[in-house]
Amino acid sequence: MQQMKVAIMKAALSDRTIIENLLQLYVYDFTEYTAAPIGENGVYQIMPDFESYWSDESSQQSYVIKANGEIAGFIMIKEKEETPKDHVLSHFFILRKFRRMGVGRKAAISLFKGMKGVWELCQLEDNIPAQKFWDQIIKEVSYGEVKNKTENGRRYQNFICK
């Protein structure tokens, strides 16, 4: 397996179109676990809070992931409403061609090491590959104590990053 140089860069307003385009692939990948319909125009509806990632940088941020200089995915995070400064990993996406090559692992670890503190993330209850991935990452970046709960078809994990 080729060693990948992975970088995460805070998305600028000029990167908005990149992430918006990648969201089509992200939503498509999730159709394996959801019943998200494609629109009559052949485009998936993007998440309702997408605009807020570009208008309220203080509490929501987007990142572009690159592997060997090529766009490989994105990360979207926000602060918890009830406890500002606690982070929520809202969306994390790696293009299929970069999966199982360590790109997602390196990007996630880089994010967590750069933003220590309290984190929450979730996976769809049926998305076992994502659950296994995040279990490994959390084990590596946290102090070991993870609070899990399942609600509305999602598994939530809360932990403190070292």
CA–CA distance, 86 with 45 (Å, rounded to integer):
28
Give the domain range for residue 144: 6-161
Domains: count for the chain:
1
User: DSSP letters along 35-67, please?
Assistant: -PPPPTTS-PPPPTTTTHHHH-TTTEEEEEEEE
CATH code: domain of residue 34: 3.40.630.30
Q: What is the pLDDT of residues 54-94, one digit of tens each?
A: 876 668 899 999 999 999 999 999 987 776 678 999 999 99
Q: What is the pLDDT of residues 109-140, one digit of tens each?
A: 999 999 989 999 999 999 999 999 999 999 99
Q: What's this model's pTM, rounded to 2 decimal places?
A: 0.92
Strands 117-124 and 87-94: parallel
CA–CA distance, 155 with 133 (Å, rounded to integer):
13
